[in-house]
Every structure is written in C-alpha cells, then in structure tokens.
Chains A and B, each alone.
Chain A
Amino acid sequence: MSVNMHVVNEGTQVGMIKIYGVGGSSVAIVGDAEVISLSSAFDTPPESCLTGPFQLLPPEP
C-alpha cells in the first residue's frame, strides 16, 4: 500500500507568533521539513520520591 499526497502552497503569511516555551525535544519551525521524528522520556517513578533521613545519591563513576 502506498500514500499519494499532493500539496499546493499558495503562500503563507503570519503576523506574529508568540510562544511561551519549546521544551523536551520539541520543534517550532518557520519553513519546510521532510522528516521530523521526536522522542521524549520522562521518569518520575514512586521510588524516585524519597522521604525520610537525608541521603546522598549514587556517586558518579
């Protein structure tokens, strides 16, 4: 199976773009793009919430 796509660009005009933040492998682009592939992993597991006596994190090698 294949996809056929035909796009006609009649010109694009935008007055103003206001963005508060672009974060975590995101993209804001004024232009054309062929391939965009974005991936983001965010880990906050229950065991990452440490209560109790203060302890140091594992040392760097």
Chain B
Amino acid sequence: MQWRTSLAGSVSVNVVLFGSSLHVGDIGYLTPEAKIYAVQRKVEYFEGREGGVAGDPLFEMPLGHLPETEEVTFRRDNPNPLIEVGTVRVTSLSVGAVLQVGSLLQLHADSRTKHIRQLPAPSVAGEAGAAAAGGGRAAGESGPAVGGGCRACSNP
C-alpha cells in the first residue's frame, strides 16, 4: 500500500494516562491494553493490598473484536499524498487511548473498567435531606447518602 505523509504543525497534549500513548511516525502493530479497577469511597481509608480481581469475569473474558474475514479489494490512489494539520490540541489521553501523527498498519486496543462505589449507610437524617432536596444530587457530593439505598445506582 502507498502510505501518505502526515504533517502536523504543532501537537499539544496535557496528560497521557493509564496505558495511553502519543506517537509521531509510522507504526506496524500496536496493542494497548488497560485494566482499571476504580473505587470511589466515601471513607478516606485504603488498606494498600485491597482490590484483588482474580476470577472476575470482566478481566478474564475475551473482548468483542470482530473477525477480519471479509474479502475487501481495496484500491487507493494518492494524487496528493499529504495529510496536513496546522495544530492538534488534546487535553487528555486516558485508558489505552492513542494519538498518532503518522500511518498505522494494525491497532487492536482493549480496555476494561470495573467501577465500585462505597457509600455510607442510609440514615434518617439522609432521608430528610433527600426529601427536601428532591434527591437529584450526583454521587461523590458532600452530604449524607440518600435514604433507601444508593442514589447513584438506585439500588435499594
């Protein structure tokens, strides 16, 4: 295949996190993987060795990549083999994300995120507060938990 040339005047990225990458140039094969165990906890305490994920199907199961079995006859003509961008500005790359200036043969990216929230038990004061406020507040906000369960997932 005839590759085109990529030209970026300037690239500015604030943060590159959690298995993400920024590439300038061509790539043959790239397979970023990220496994995230995210815990949102009201109580400010962390034991250090918490968070075992052995046996969790989310981190074991095969992810849904489609098989590349389709027969495609592809013809590409590049009368002007240049891809030109003046400025690229990105605030953040996160969880196995890729920013590339250049050409790429194959990219296979996987990410798995498990999100756990640990909130205080419902209380009588919480129920009164929820009734007054209408219960429309987001998780993680200060104040007592909504009575009758978790306000983020409506779990009783």
A-side interface residues toward B, CB under 8 Å? 1-44, 46-61
B-side interface residues toward A, CB under 8 Å? 1, 3-4, 6, 8, 20, 26, 32, 34, 39, 43, 45, 47, 49-52, 54, 58, 61, 63-66, 68, 70-122, 145, 149-150, 152-153, 155
Bound complex: CA of A12 vs CA of B92, how far in Å? 25
- B109 surroundings in chain A (CB, below 8 A): 25-27, 37-40
Bound complex: CA of A25 vs CA of B20, how far in Å? 8
Residue of B nearest to A28 (CB): B99
Bound complex: CA of A25 vs CA of B101, how far in Å? 17
Answer whether A51 and B121 are a contact pair too, CB < 8 Å, given A2-B73, A31-B83, A59-B50: yes
Residue of A nearest to B145 (CB): A51
Counted as pairs of residues, one from A and one from B, with CB atoms less than 8 Å apart, the total is: 251
Are B52 and A59 within 8 A (Cβ)?
A: yes
Are B82 and A11 within 8 A (Cβ)?
A: yes
Bound complex: CA of A29 vs CA of B106, how far in Å? 12
Bound complex: CA of A13 vs CA of B83, how far in Å? 6
- A35 surroundings in chain B (CB, below 8 A): 68, 105-108
Answer whether A59 and B49 are a contact pair too, CB < 8 Å, given A37-B65, A51-B122: yes
- B3 surroundings in chain A (CB, below 8 A): 31-32
Are A39 and B94 within 8 A (Cβ)?
A: no
Bound complex: CA of A57 vs CA of B52, how far in Å? 8
- B75 surroundings in chain A (CB, below 8 A): 4-7
- Please provide the 4 A-B residue pairs with the shortest distance between their CB atoms, ordered closest to farther: A11-B80, A25-B109, A39-B63, A2-B71
Residue of A nearest to B92 (CB): A21
Bound complex: CA of A14 vs CA of B82, how far in Å? 11
Q: For residue A13, give the distance in angstroms from its CB to the closest CB of chain B.
A: 5
Are A33 and B119 within 8 A (Cβ)?
A: no
Answer whether A49 and B97 are a contact pair too, CB < 8 Å, given A14-B84, A54-B45: no
Are B113 and A42 within 8 A (Cβ)?
A: yes
